[in-house]
Structure 1
């Protein structure tokens, strides 16, 4: 499976549709969290994803905000979880940010239940837990 990285204008209509559909399925329906997913960040983001038979099975986006690069909307399609895909995708994105974008720091707003996973990838806690759309989150950071 190949990992793709594309800016908004490089995405095909089908890729964009599949990304938005998958984000909706996971973050809104599965997690029962009603929020506005289409937040005007996608047009300025780098979209990193894996496909299997033309279906996107894992995804995240990279965007710059307040002078720092952030990763968000990290997901793996339900039937593809527990296969190490999120770890592989994050590793790819981290290397891309540090090596291609020449950034020294990455910030994420992690869901609290994934804190240990992100720690295993080298991220450190930078905030107390807080509610974001009624889901416990915390700021985490990774330095090069």
Structure 2
């Protein structure tokens, strides 16, 4: 296994297509959410990718804005689920953010059924459950 962290412009066209294909497969097709999966946040994002040889195991996207730092699009590909890779990619992502940014709030929007999972990393729920693309979500925050 290997971990890659790259900004969008550093990714080859093929790697970017592989990432986008997995995101659409999971977030649009599997979760049946019809929305614009590829967005302007991808332009300046950092992509955190865990590979098994050349296969994507898990992925997250780190984005920054005037509102702070966030990550999302957390995924584990189907063949690698229930093996701890979700925890591994989230912890790696938090560690990367902690190294790059200090004394900031990290804010994420997570699916509500993963509340305990995100709290296990030190996130605190910062909102009531709300609907995003037809799926219940909660806003979480952590001071880094």
**TM-score range normalised by the length of the shorter chain:** over 0.9
Size of the alignment, in residue pairs? 144
TM-score computed with the length of structure 1 as normaliser: 0.95
Tell me how far 1:56 sits from its aligned partner: 1.3
- Structure 1 residue runs of 5 or longer lacking an equivalent are none
TM-superposition CA deviations, 1:27-80 (whole Å, max 9, x none): 011101111001111111000011112121210000012331001100000110
In structure 2, how many angstroms separate the alpha carbons of the residues matched to 1:43 and 1:103? 25
SS in 2 for 1:21: helix
1:18 counterpart residue number? 18
Tell me how far 1:14 sits from its aligned partner: 1.4
1:4 counterpart residue number? 4
In structure 2, how many angstroms separate the alpha carbons of the residues matched to 1:63 and 1:6? 12
1:42 counterpart residue number? 42
In structure 1, how many angstroms separate the alpha carbons of the residues matched to 2:2 and 2:103? 24
SS in 2 for 1:41: helix
Contact 1:97 1:103 in 2 (8 A): no
- After superposing on structure 2, the runs of 4+ consecutive aligned residues of structure 1 that deviate more than 6 Å are none
- Structure 2 residue runs of 5 or longer lacking an equivalent are none
